[in-house]
């Protein structure tokens, strides 16, 4: 704890927009316990709006893929070294690394060795693959904060201090969705009336859309030929993906009822009767909107062969992982065919009792994740700072 009249310093580092959102909410919640705290490290625009002192621009840490991090490695190492030196001198009451494990875990490890309490917020997928990383994590953190309950179980089983705080999306997405209001907000008017809405989300990255897009359009063609009251809505994640999707869709039959819409993925999912999507966080979003979904994913053959030997879980979608059983269909690699995915879509549309049962399951999972995550995380961190009650 700081000396009297000295502000309490809380160090934080985020590398992605999702981490910036978590960080801003956590800052607001921590101020309930420490009104005069100074927050510093690396933060994004939402954290800056809360008064965060960012020593480096957050976007300098936002690197993805295999090649870009290698090209940026000297800069990333320099930023991490300077952050380490800064916190050695400033001695925060706690350091919180939010996601970005490749950057944050090494920083946490060195700070913890220097006697600074460390927290990692958002578990790496260590429970799914490269489980040997748990040894490094146990040395690097005083506390792991997880968004999902099965993650916390994994850490407890490996004797790593952990607190399950719930998922912030479960706090922001209402328990009861309103598909009719979402459809009206999309302003498609007569094009929607009387039709079943199918949301197609082939991914947010260029490589994903290149690989998955053609399959999704073939599924749409297969289903439209068998059921006439279908309309397909495709949200684009950003301007680059919009252009890429536009180019793919130009090659299709002009009579196919596919509408490409800039952004609005949440409204499109909420309005949909069924969602077909690439695996990822969007599976959790569709679950929280209580939408029947089909999860599809394809990788390059060599990548799939390598990953299939490393991955230790039975499912790839978050609804199935949370339920610990196959509540939604997954079509991976060679199983991802237009006929298989299309038949699963038509099965949902023609079996409303299946959909009703699934929505009840999703409601229960939503309640499980709805934990007021900002407040839960702040309470756990406060206990660690104060060295008080057992977590």
Cα–Cα nearest to 165, from 382, 370, 390, 12: 370
- Average pLDDT of 240-245? 91
Tokens of residue 367, six digits: 């309640």
The predicted structure's pLDDT at residue 189: 72
Alpha helices in the chain (DSSP H): 17-30, 45-49, 67-71, 73-90, 101-113, 134-140, 149-157, 168-172, 179-185, 206-224, 239-250, 265-271, 281-288, 301-310, 318-323, 338-350, 352-369, 373-386
Cα–Cα nearest to 364, from 323, 334, 306, 315: 323
Q: What is the rounded distance in angstroms from the CA atom of residue 94 to the CA atom of residue 111? A: 10
Cα distance from N-terminal residue to C-terminal residue, the chain: 19
- Residue 102: half-sphere exposure toward Cβ, Cα within 13 Å: 14
The two beta strands, 230-236 and 258-262, are parallel
Q: Degrees (nearest 5) of the Cα angle 313, 314, 320?
A: 105
The predicted structure's pLDDT at residue 105: 93
The predicted structure's pLDDT at residue 63: 58
Cα–Cα nearest to 327, from 357, 285, 289: 357
For residue 287, pLDDT over 60 is answered with yes
Q: 91 vs 206, which has greater pLDDT?
A: 91
The predicted structure's pLDDT at residue 192: 72
The predicted structure's pLDDT at residue 319: 94
Residue for token pair 């001198």: 89
The Cβ of residue 334 has, within 10 Å, a number of other Cβ atoms equal to 10
The predicted structure's pLDDT at residue 291: 95
Q: Answer for the pair 235, 268: CB distance below 8 angstroms, yes or no.
A: yes
The predicted structure's pLDDT at residue 69: 59
What sign has the CA pseudo-torsion 28, 38, 391, 169? positive
Give 170-217 pLDDT, tens digit per residue: 999 999 999 989 988 988 777 677 789 999 999 878 888 888 899 999
Q: 160 vs 1, which has greater pLDDT?
A: 160
Q: What is the rounded distance in angstroms from the CA atom of residue 195 to the CA atom of residue 182? A: 15
- Average pLDDT of 161-165? 96
Helix axis angle, 352-369 relative to 281-288, nearest 10°? 110
Q: What is the rounded distance in angstroms from the CA atom of residue 27 to the CA atom of residue 15? A: 16
Give the pLDDT band of residue 66 (cuts 50, 70, 90). very low
What is the DSSP code string of 127-146?
A: GTS-GGGHHHHHHH-SEEEE
Give 319-375 pLDDT, tens digit per residue: 999 999 999 999 988 888 999 999 999 999 999 888 899 999 999 999 999 999 999
> In Å, how far from its chain's centre is CA 73?
25
Cα–Cα nearest to 287, from 200, 177, 124: 177
Cα–Cα nearest to 171, from 388, 383, 371: 371
For residue 25, pLDDT over 80 is answered with yes
Q: What is the rounded distance in angstroms from the CA atom of residue 242 to the CA atom of residue 265? A: 13
Tokens of residue 35, six digits: 């009104």
| Average of per-residue pLDDT values in the chain | 88
- Classify residue 334 by its DSSP letter: G
Give 295-312 pLDDT, tens digit per residue: 998 776 676 666 666 566
Tokens of residue 193, six digits: 């009336």
The predicted structure's pLDDT at residue 306: 62
Proportion of the chain above pLDDT 90, given as a percent = 64
- Average pLDDT of 147-161? 93
Give 49-59 pLDDT, tens digit per residue: 999 999 998 87
Q: Answer for the pair 381, 258: CB distance below 8 angstroms, yes or no.
A: no
Three-state DSSP at 259 gives strand
Maximum pairwise Cα distance, the chain: 74
Give 98-146 pLDDT, tens digit per residue: 988 889 999 999 999 999 999 999 998 776 556 778 899 999 999 999 9
The kind and range of the H/E element at 332 are strand 330-332
Q: At a CB cut-off of 8 Å and minimum separation 6, what does 58 contact?
A: 14, 15, 20, 42, 43, 44, 45, 47
Selection from 14-18, 178-182, 238-242, 377-381 with the highest mean pLDDT: 377-381
């Amino acid at each position: 704890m700081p000396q009297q009249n000295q502000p309490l310093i809380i160090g934080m580092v985020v590398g992605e927009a999702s981490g910036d959102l978590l960080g801003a909410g956590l800052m607001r919640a921590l101020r309930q316990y420490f009104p005069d705290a100074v927050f510093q490290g690396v933060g994004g625009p939402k954290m800056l709006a809360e008064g965060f002192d960012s020593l480096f621009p957050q976007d300098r840490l936002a690197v993805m893929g295999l090649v870009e991090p290698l090209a940026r490695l000297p800069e990333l190492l320099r930023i991490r070294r300077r952050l380490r030196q800064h916190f050695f001198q400033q001695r925060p009451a706690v350091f919180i690394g939010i996601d970005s494990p490749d950057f944050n875990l090494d920083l946490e490890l060195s700070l913890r060795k220097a006697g600074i309490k460390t927290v990692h917020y958002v578990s790496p997928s260590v429970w799914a693959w490269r489980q040997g990383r748990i040894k490094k994590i146990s040395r690097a953190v005083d506390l792991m904060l997880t968004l999902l309950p099965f993650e916390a179980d994994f850490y407890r089983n490996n004797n790593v201090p952990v607190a399950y705080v719930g998922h912030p999306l479960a706090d922001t997405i209402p328990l009861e969705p309103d598909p009719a209001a979402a459809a009206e907000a999309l302003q498609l008017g007569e094009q929607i009336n009387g039709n079943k809405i199918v949301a197609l989300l082939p991914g947010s990255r260029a490589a994903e859309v290149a690989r998955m897009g053609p399959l999704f359009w073939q599924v749409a063609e297969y289903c439209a030929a068998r059921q006439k009251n279908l309309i397909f809505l495709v949200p684009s994640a950003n301007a680059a993906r919009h252009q890429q999707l536009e180019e793919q869709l130009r090659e299709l039959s002009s009579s196919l009822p596919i509408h490409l819409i800039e952004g609005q993925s949440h409204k499109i999912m909420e309005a949909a009767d069924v969602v077909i999507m690439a695996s990822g966080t969007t599976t959790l979003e569709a679950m929280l909107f209580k939408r029947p979904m089909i999860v599809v994913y394809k990788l390059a053959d060599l990548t799939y062969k390598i990953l299939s030997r490393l991955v230790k879980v039975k499912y790839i979608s978050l609804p199935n992982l949370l339920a610990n059983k196959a509540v939604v269909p997954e079509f991976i690699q060679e199983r991802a065919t237009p006929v298989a995915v299309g038949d699963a879509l038509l099965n949902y549309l023609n079996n409303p009792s299946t959909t009703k049962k699934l929505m009840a399951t999703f409601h229960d999972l939503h309640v499980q994740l709805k934990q007021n995550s900002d407040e839960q995380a702040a309470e756990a961190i406060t206990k660690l700072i104060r060295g008080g009650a057992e977590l």
